[in-house]
Structure 1
Amino acid sequence: MSFASTDQPAPSAPDSEPQAAPVPSPGSGAHDPGAYRHDLDGLRGIAIALVVAFHIWFGRVSGGVDVFLVLSGFFFTGMLVRRSDSGVVGVPATIRRTLRRLLPAMVVVLAAVVIAAVLLLPHTRWSDIAAQTLASLFYYQNWYLALSWSDYLAADPSVSPLQHLWSMSVQGQCYLGMLLIIATVAWLCRRGPALRRFTPVRGVLASDPMRALLRSGFGRRMVRTSRQNVLRIGLAVIFTAIAVASFCYAAEGVSTQQGWNYYDTFARAWEPLTGALLALAAPMVKLPKLMREMLGWAGIAAIIACGWLVNGSSVFPGPYALIPVLATVALILAGAGLATAGQPLVNRLLASSPMVGLGGFAYALYLWHWPILIFYLGERHSREAGAVGGLIIILVSFVLAYLTHRFVEEPLRLRSTPTVPAAPARARMLIGVAVSTVGVLLLGSTVAWQWSMGAKAHAVGELDPAKYPGAAALADGALVPRAPMRPTIEEAPADVAYPTRDSCIADFDTRSVVTCTYGDANAHRTIAVVGNSHAEHWIPALQIVAEKYRFKISVYLKMGCPLTVAEEPMYKGQQNPDCKDWSHDVIERLGAERPDYVFTTGTRPADNGGDEIPQDYLDVWHELADRGLQVLAMRDTPWLRRNGIRYRAIDCLASGGNRVECGMKRPDALSAVNPALAASDDFPNVHVLDLNNAVCEPTVCAVVEGNILIYHDEHHLTASYSRSLAPELERQLRPILGWW
């Protein structure tokens, strides 16, 4: 977000932008929407303090970002409308000024993050950092995260240090949209007389509905009103329509696709548009003193309490986001049109020097605090900063934010004011050249790295079983000669199961059932592979067996969605309603198509170590039994975790760890006895499979066996290792299927 105070016209407004009119005296009754609002600078200070504290200590969304979205819409719209009153809006100039205000500090932080990533993170993490750096520079980070459905609250070393910049992208996109709308409406207002001469416009004006409107009292008032008021009325109508549509869309998204909804620009648009509508209505606001006091105190109380009242990551920007949004509106209205001395007490407190000072470098503080938090947690291999660690993070963030604000932001955007002298022209030029150079180097290096890594990442073909026995080293005691590991750590991310490669697995935002066929497509016997990616990663092994013994594999797969009948399926702590509807359709299709066997996962990792079989899995077994379907329940393979934090094998290996050090103790990964065994006693239709003795050694689950890397990420088998499991899978399926 832009937390910079120059969103509102100020004594230090950028470039040659017209200065705001003086604040009217408390008794004048005048309402000047352009008056400088020190109390809203203070509100920025409160909001950034909440954002930082909740990120570091509480692991919750505070609502501070929503506050900033409303403020940015309020100030940006007010500035553009005032500019349109004195002439053209100036789209190129506005974009240039806005980027000069926002980009320099971001470039500095991005460069620092890239340097820290090179120094502190394994090179296997650099590709994602590079991709998110580009996404942040070009303001599409929110879409990058939406596509991967990242968990914003999962503040641990596996999270990107740039993930918080999604909000900057949302704000930049909203700025551009509002700018184009305001500029277009302003142009139409200026061209009104000429436009009325066009045949289509004349036809509209001559129509019976328009004539009736123009003859009405409202129409006559509109004809008499000034061009500026016509502009405001037109913008109010457009912004209201878009805001209502955005709010309805966001409300629907909470219950259907919240992972996407959280980052979706259109779902967020109603928040800055609320501020924009308030800017348009500000000249008409006249409230009694008591109401202002009530609004001020209610607003600040709601903002402070918001993070405790609701779990924002699960419900924002839906209706619950009205809490921080309306609270911000209340505080804006409480002090509207009044000098600081005449404002309600809470607004005067917000206008105090400490709060205004904090708000002054809120933007830089927002940019710095998250990457510092993530790198700190990464170095300590912890999920929590703790009291002392949190204070250290805040102190370092404050120092860096102040330096960035003082020596980068201010010299590049401010002219002289009574309190802040402008930097000399030479200094401004040197800082500008330095930041631009850093930006160019940053862009070039990230693009080059992405290109080089893209060339190295590819799926591995068939490996020589003599050199690469893989699972046979554990299951059959095969000899393991000296050979380089395959896939390599560069190849691994692309060595994925076939349905992902073939787009035969529904993603998080795909509600429809996607199916594909593997094995022998003409066979009369069928195994349906059903569930999420942990059912999917057995496809390479099943493919080999199916081709050998001539049976068909039909896949019904969806990311993050094991087959479920739960009322409120969850994924990464968020509701996943598509999973319920998808599962219902799949179960019905299985009942109608009647495959010979349904292959799915039968266990999952337990939070306190080992593995378990959740009740939801048993409920699914009941549903399949009711339809007379036979089930192959595969025990899940280990998920790489330390202290509850997931990690990638390739990251550990790239950091110098070996196959055992990067693995897990077997008791931490798997319970002593397969938990699905006892549960299956009540289900004659369920047949339990367990291949973990071909994945783990007796005491340790390493990440490489038989010269083949087992995982391509934190917990999914590489296609290469899955293929090496085919002989063991064949042995366990033989007595169950009886097909060979």
Structure 2
Amino acid sequence: MAAPPRESERPPVSLLTAPTGTGRARPAAVGSGEHRPEIDGLRAVAVLLVVTYHVWLGRVSGGVDVFLMLTGFLITASLVRAATGRGIRYGAFLARLAARLVPTAAVVVLATLAATWLFLPETRWREAPGDAVAALLHHTNWRLALNSVDYLARDDLNPLQHFWSLSVQGQFYLVWPALVAVAVWTARRGGRDPRSPLLVALSAVLVLSLAYSVLMTRIDQPWAYFDTGARLWEFALGGLLALLPLGRDLPRAPRVALGWTGLAALVLCGVLLPVSSVFPGYAALWPTMAAAAVLVAGASGSEFGADRLLSLRPLRYLGSISYALYLWHWPLLVFYLSLTGRGLATPWGGAAVLAVSVLLAAATTPVADRLAALGRGGGRKAVRRGVAVALACLLPVLLTAGAWAGFQSAERDRWERLLADGRSYPGAAAADGAQVPDRPVYPPLVWAAEDAPATYDDGCNQTTAAPEVITCVYGVDDPVRTVALVGGSHAAHWFPALESIALDRDWRLVNIVKGACLFTDAPQSYRGEPYTSCAEWNRGVMAELDRLRPDTVFTTGTTTSLDTSIGYGEEQVVDGYVDRWRELGDMGIDVVAVRDTPRFRFDVPGCLAEADPDECTSAPEESMAPVSPLEEVEPPPNVTVVDLTDRFCDRDACRPVIGNVLVYWDSSHIGATFMRTLAPELERRWARAEGW
């Protein structure tokens, strides 16, 4: 949630001001500083919508968009007044903002770090230091945007992810003063009203940003949701409202109707729109235009106006603490849900989260206000005081996050030394009777999510959004054999084993992988929608293989699920697999079809963080067919079938830990460490099947 200045601080307002007794608004210059009490109430409604939808409905309300628009409304007017007066003092502007925003944010982040260590499982610790730094240095939105395009990103609730909107706001604060200053400077040079070039500039930002937002929402909605460029139009809309005399001559009755219509539309937005999956785009016009209607309606002068409700003291008070209330409610909700194991809060549990959030906001806001007062004023002393306040609050949190990250790094080095003793961590070799001493599980649960194939860090696996074929080559320059690893993420997790074999036998390994995309021309879906980028990628892969002509394609021969909506126990040879293998045979390319690996119904590291390995097993029949479906088809002569299911499961259970090595780093993907221990057995069975 963005945090525009509170009305209690008497920021400059728009050309609309309170109406006279005739029921018509009287005009006022931008920056008149007249008080708009209904704005505090509007902020209260917005934050209550955000909190209510998060806590009880598990949805997004559109309230954040209202705060972004209000930020543009209030800050634009403030900057115009400064620019047309003594000029914008950029350092003083940022110092005041830092003194006002940083103290509360720092307290919340520090408390969240402590609670994460105390109450959340180890699997949630790895990202905590980085999340804290991103929250305080205003780049949480980009951190989340990068995760949004990562097919393998974990779905755990991040107790600091709500800082994304503050990051967008912080980036807005960096560029908006320059935009206003350039517009005013241009106007002065031409002897014109400074509002004219600023109106042109803000209109251009609104049109371009909204067009970009609509386009990106259609192409990649999860990325667009956090993209600052797709949100700038909301600030520009608020800025235009601060400059244009909309509704100046509006009579009382239409003003009352407009206020109530806007307020009702705002409240109903989250009910009628799937905000989290269609925003920002054109859909975000709903809450922003609804709030704009309330602003244009202004003070109606009627006891039946929406502004009378919004001006009530309780709502105005909630508006005054809305920034802190927003910051506190989300981590409290995440910890409550984690400790209770719930997906949504109960009525009473949610009420407790809300009550504690309000109490903490009420306690921290006055302290933050007193610190913010040190940064007010335009002199150098005020700037230095504002910077000192911000640094005094920032440094303890940044040092804490740095110390935690340093501790994790030292632990990693210690574990690497332990792993060097291969006898302690035989992994898959334990099935051959290798002695397994009593040792802690490797990798530690806190790093389980990092135990993915190196191809992800190398940028060699295509995301779900893009259709282009990415080809990465590993191994020797003058290979005895070239093997292409092709398919989705369940093909990708075989890379560490294949790389070990390739290095041992002087092979070249070509990685051609796309998340959730099976190697077939049959129609596929992803998250319930047609997976068109996968179809285009598959066509490109066949063209690339025709060009490369590898000796062998290594790919999955079965799949346990075509789409997460299907569920488990659906192992099959997918339509189009055999036809694709025949196509490769016609090109003179051999195929190794490996049976898919078992899936779990739960996050394996998450289970192990709270229970013993014997309590975190999965029955083979939950995801695997009783007999391999590859035995029920007649593969072409160029196909070699490999089945290593017995290395993951015995007759009764599939194990989360084998030979002291963590097998899975989520619910279905095999960790790189375990896969490397599986390489010798994969090599033996492959060699036996092909008669090396």
TM-score range, shorter chain: 0.7 to 0.9
- State the distance in 2 between where 1:30 and 1:395 align: 41
The answer to whether the Cα contact below 8 Å between 1:2 and 1:72 also exists between their aligned partners in 2 is yes
Give the CA deviation at 1:497: 1.8
Q: Give 1:522 shift.
A: 3.9
Find the aligned partners of 2:69 and 2:570 in 1 and give their Cα distance.
45
Deviations 1:356-410 (A, max 9, x none): 23222221111111111110111112222222322222222222222222x3234
The question of whether the paired residues in 2 share the 8 Å contact of 1:602 and 1:635 is answered with yes
Alignment of 1:236-385 (within 5 A): 236-282=199-245, 285-335=248-298, 339-342=299-302, 345-385=305-345
**Residues 141 and 227 of structure 2 are in contact (CA less than 8 Å); yes or no, is this contact kept in structure 1?**
yes
Q: Quote the offset at 1:353 in angstroms.
A: 2.9
Secondary structure of 2:427's match? coil
Structure 1 residue 331 displacement after superposition: 1.9
Q: Displacement of 1:668 after TM fit?
A: 8.0
Of the candidates 171, 174, 197, which is equivalent to residue 173 of structure 1?
Answer: 171
Equivalents in 2 of 1:150, 1:56: separation in Å? Answer: 26
Match of 1:470 in 2: 427
Where does structure 2 lack aligned partners over 5 or more consecutive residues? 375-383
- 1:707-740 CA distances to partner (integer Å, 9 max, x unpaired)? 223234554333221111123323443465x252
What residue number does 1:585 align with?
540
| Separation (CA, whole Å) in 1 of partners of 2:681 and 2:37 | 71
Q: Equivalent residue for 1:720? A: 673
d(CA) in 2 for partners of 1:344 and 1:150?
A: 48
Amino acid at match of 1:57: W
Q: CA deviation at 1:323?
A: 1.4
2 CA distance for matches of 1:289 and 1:577? Answer: 53
SS at match of 2:244: helix
Show the 5 A alignment for 1:66-215.
66-123=65-122, 125-149=124-148, 158-190=156-188, 192=189
Structure 1 window deviating more from structure 2 (686-695 vs 626-635): it is 626-635
Select which of 588, 599, 618 maps to 2:575: 618
Superimposed CA distance per residue, residues 615-640 of structure 1 (whole angstroms, 9 cap, x where no aligned partner):
9x535665665665776454443455
Shift in Å, 1:659:
3.4
More displaced stretch, 450-459 vs 372-381: 450-459
Separation in structure 2 between the aligned mates of residue 609 and residue 180 of structure 1, nearest angstrom: 53
Does 1:701 pair with 2:654? yes
Contact 1:256 1:576 in 2 (8 A): no
Match in the other structure for 1:217: none
Residues 268 and 317, structure 1, Cα contact 8 Å, conserved in 2: yes
Distance 1:346 1:87 in 2: 37
Alignment check: 8 A CA contact 2:106 2:394 kept:
yes
Superposition RMSD on alpha carbons, in Å?
3.9
Q: 1:680 to 1:520 in 2, by over 3 A?
A: farther
1:526-575 CA-to-partner distances (Å, cap 9, x unmatched) read 4321233332221121233345566543211234555576878535x799
Q: 1:674 to 1:279 in 2, by over 3 A?
A: farther
The equivalent residue for 1:43 is 42
Where in structure 2 are the equivalents of 1:383-462 lying within 5 Å? 383-405=343-365, 407-413=366-372, 437-457=392-412
2:16–2:248 Cα contact (<8 Å) kept: no
| Structure-2 change in CA distance of 1:681 and 1:559 (3 Å) | same
In structure 1, the residue matched to 2:2 is 2
Contact residue 257 and residue 578 of structure 1 kept, 8 A: no
Shift of the 681–258 alpha-carbon distance from structure 1 to 2, 3 Å rule, reads: farther
- In 2: Cα distance, 1:362 partner to 1:542 partner: 54
Cα distance in 2, alignment partners of residues 704 and 365 from structure 1? 42
Q: SS of the residue aligned with 1:514?
A: coil
**Separation of aligned partners in 2, 1:509 and 1:129:** 27
Residue identity in the other structure for 1:58: L
Letter in 1 for 2:453: A
Are the aligned partners of 1:519 and 1:547 in contact in 2 as well (CA < 8 Å)?
A: yes
**Which amino acid is the alignment partner of residue 446 of structure 1?**
A
Q: Is the 8 A contact 2:460 2:513 kept in 1?
A: yes
Q: TM (normalized to structure 2)? A: 0.85
Is 511-520 or 429-438 further displaced after alignment?
429-438
Q: What is the alpha-carbon distance in structure 1 between the residues aligned to residue 213 and residue 393 of structure 2?
A: 38
1:542 is the counterpart of 2:501: no
Contact 1:149-1:259 within 8 A present in 2 as well: yes
5 Å-filtered alignment, 1:653-664, equals 653=609, 657-661=611-615, 663-664=616-617
Distance 1:567 1:484, change over 3 A: closer
Instruction: Note if contact 1:561-1:579 (Cα within 8 Å) is conserved in structure 2.
Output: yes
**Judging changes above 3 Å, is the alpha-carbon distance between structure 1 residues 359 and 482 closer, same or farther for their aligned structure 2 residues?**
closer
Residues in 2 aligned to 1:21 and 1:464: alpha-carbon distance in whole angstroms: 74
Q: In structure 2, what is the equivalent of residue 206 of structure 1?
A: none
Q: Which amino acid aligns with 2:317?
A: G
After superposition, the C-alpha distances for 1:321-345 in whole angstroms (9 at most, x for unaligned) are: 121122222222222xxx4524872
Secondary structure in structure 2 of the residue aligned to 1:555: strand
Unaligned runs of 5+ in 1: 194-222, 416-428
CA positional deviation for 1:611: 3.8
- Conserved? CA contact 2:123–2:605, under 8 Å: no
Q: Which moved more, 1:686-695 or 1:528-537?
A: 686-695
Q: 1:97 to 1:302 in 2, by over 3 A?
A: same
Please say if residues 110 and 133 of structure 1, whose CA atoms lie closer than 8 Å, have aligned partners that are also in contact: yes
Task: Name whichever of 367-376 and 573-582 sits farther off.
Answer: 573-582
One-letter amino acid of the counterpart of residue 309, structure 1: L
Mark the CA change 1:607 to 1:574 in structure 2 (over 3 Å): closer, same or farther: closer
Instruction: Return the match for 2:683 from 714, 717, 730.
Output: 730
Kept after mapping to 1: 8 A contact 2:427/2:677: yes
Question: Deviations along 1:227-279, whole A, 9 cap, x unmatched?
Answer: 4x2x1111111122122221121111123222221111111111111111111
Report the Cα offset of residue 592 of structure 1.
5.4
2: distance between equivalents of 1:625 and 1:326? 57
Q: Distance in 2 between matches of 1:332 and 1:678?
A: 69
Q: Counterparts of 1:83 and 1:276 in 2: how far apart (Å)?
A: 15
Assess, with a 3 A threshold, how the Cα gap between structure 1 residues 343 and 132 changes in structure 2: closer, same or farther: farther
Residues in 1 aligned to 2:63 and 2:572: alpha-carbon distance in whole angstroms: 37
Whole-Å separation in 2 of the counterparts to 1:430 and 1:88: 21
Deviations 1:47-101 (A, max 9, x none): 2122112112222221111111111111111122123333212222221222222
2:474 is matched with 518
State which of 449, 461, 474 in structure 2 corresponds to 1:505. Answer: 461
**Aligned equivalents of 1:681, 1:290: Cα separation in 2:** 78
State the alpha-carbon separation in 1 of the partners of residues 442 and 405 from structure 2. 22
CA distance in structure 2 between the partners assigned to 1:61 and 1:277 by the alignment: 26
> Any idea what SS the aligned residue of 1:664 has?
coil
AA aligned to 1:303 is L
Letter in 2 for 1:373: L
Q: Identity of aligned pairs, percent?
A: 36
Moved more, 683-692 or 238-247: 683-692
In the alignment, the residues of structure 1 paired with residue 225 and residue 508 of structure 2 have an alpha-carbon distance, to the nearest angstrom, of 40
Aligned AA (1:702) = R
Structure-2 residue corresponding to 1:603:
559
Q: Which amino acid aligns with 1:341?
A: G
**Structure 1 residue 465, shift from structure 2 partner:** 5.1
Q: Partner of 1:214 in structure 2?
A: none
Structure 1's 67 and 562: CA in aligned 2 closer, same or farther, altered over 3 A? farther
Deviation at 1:141, TM superposition (A): 0.8
1:232 alignment partner AA: R
CA distance in 1, matches of 2:394, 2:458: 37
